[in-house]
Amino acid sequence: MFKLFNKIFYRIYQWRGGKKDKLDDSFGWVIAGLVVYSILFEVDFLDNFFIYTFFPSYFFYDNIFVALLLVPFVFYIYFTLSNFIIHKFDFLWLKTRGWKISVDTTLIYSFFIVIGFGIGFLSPELQFLGIDFVYIVFIFFFILYYLLRFYLQRLSPKHVHEIYIEDLKKMKDEGKITNEKYQEVIATDRTKDGKGTYIGDRYEYSGEFKEGKFNGQGTLTWANGDMYVGEFKNGTFHGQGTYTYLNGSKYVGEHKDGKMNGQGSATFANGDKYVGEHKDGKMNGQGTYTWVNGDEHVGEWKDDKQNGQGTMKHSDGKIEKGIWENGKLTKNEGSN
């Protein structure tokens, strides 16, 4: 039975993206907001928390059963918004991993809330040690949720390794990896520091490990054909490296927390080239962009657009100098 639960939790962990995320604590932000709200407006915290937050639909439909059915949708909106804010409005993260975390967290919370409030409204007199049953259910599920989180973060290494080997054997039998690659992977002990190979359903890593994570020099190849070769830290690319996209675009330079950060050179599939500073995966800072037609802009950039002081040299010899905002020249300081 333990192995079965371990497998279920591992699949959830794998579906989320295979690592703990700071969004796992997003519900704490919701609670903190409600506490502040209740203090500022001097209202009962539990009433404010359960009624106004979980069941806003109740006030629109005047029907508790409809409100219960709408709980997952309300939860999903709350989790997605709070997660989105915590991740600094990262649309790419939301598209690839964020929605999954919001979905499974929503399902877990909604299941217990619906049960607790369903019983509470059907049997309002039901109590335990003088406490309304609905609050008992909530406390129980809150504790259970964090126990599950604790367990997911510390999955049994032995059982996880067994599941991983089962997945690899299935991939080998289906012809997705060679027997040579299979033997190479099962020979890797990720719990020990050193070099090795890891193959997942979305990517393959070959390089150095430390404390079970990608750390040091390595190569990460995604299923879609993208490839990164360079330095890693705590499981993601961090430091000097080269990221090559399937479409031919390439970035060579500094990375931080899995994104382009620092000085680097980007060559795009259409022939354009940018050399300069990057921040959070975008052109930010001082840099030079050269278009395939010969045009060149030297100056300041913000979020992939010309912003600040800059000089535009056109292929026909025309030169524009001045202040740029969102890719447009707003203050001309001289041209010829």
- Residue 245 domain-assigned (yes or no): yes
- pLDDT for residue 224: 85
Q: Interhelix angle for 99-122 vs 26-41, to 10°?
A: 50
Judge whether 169 lies within some domain: no
Same structural domain, 321 and 201: yes
Q: State the residue for tokens 């990460």.
A: 220
Residues 92 and 213 in one domain: no
172 within domain boundaries: no
Give the rounded percent of residues in the chain with a pLDDT score beyond 90.
28
Looking at the structure, do residues 60 and 117 belong to the same domain, yes or no?
A: yes
Q: Which residues pair with 209 in a beta bridge?
A: 194, 214
Q: Is residue 256 in some structural domain? A: yes
Give the pLDDT band (50/70/90) at residue 137.
low
Structural domains of the chain, count: 2
pLDDT at 113: 67
Which has the closest alpha carbon to 29: 87, 82, 92?
Answer: 82
pLDDT, one tens digit per residue, over 209-218 is: 887 788 999 9
Task: Answer whether residue 17 is part of any domain.
Answer: yes
pLDDT digits (tens, 9 = 90+) for 49-65: 555 555 555 555 556 66
3-state secondary structure of 13: helix
- Which domain does 308 fall in, by range? 177-335
Residues 105 and 245 in one domain: no
Asked if 88 and 34 sit in the same domain, the reply is: yes
Tens of pLDDT, residue by residue over 78-130, are: 777 777 777 677 676 666 666 677 776 777 667 766 676 666 666 666 565 55
215 in the same domain as 151: no
Polymer length of the chain: 336
pLDDT of residue 43: 54
CA atoms within 13 A on the CB side of 76: 12
Regarding whether 129 and 97 lie in a shared domain, the answer is yes
- Is residue 171, in this structure, part of any structural domain at all? no
Residue 183 and residue 148 share a domain: no
Residue 242 within any structural domain of the chain: yes
Percentage above 70 pLDDT, the chain: 58
CATH for 242: 2.20.110.10
Whole-angstrom distance, CA of residue 136 vs CA of residue 309: 61
Alpha-carbon distance 278 to 258, whole Å? 13
Does 313 have pLDDT greater than 80?
Answer: yes
Confidence of residue 26 (pLDDT cuts 50, 70, 90): low
Taking only the tens place, the pLDDT of each residue in 236-279 is 889 999 999 999 999 999 999 888 999 999 999 999 999 999 99
Last residue of a domain, one of 155, 187, 213: 155
Helices (H), the chain: 2-16, 26-41, 45-47, 58-61, 64-69, 71-86, 91-93, 99-122, 133-153, 157-173, 179-186
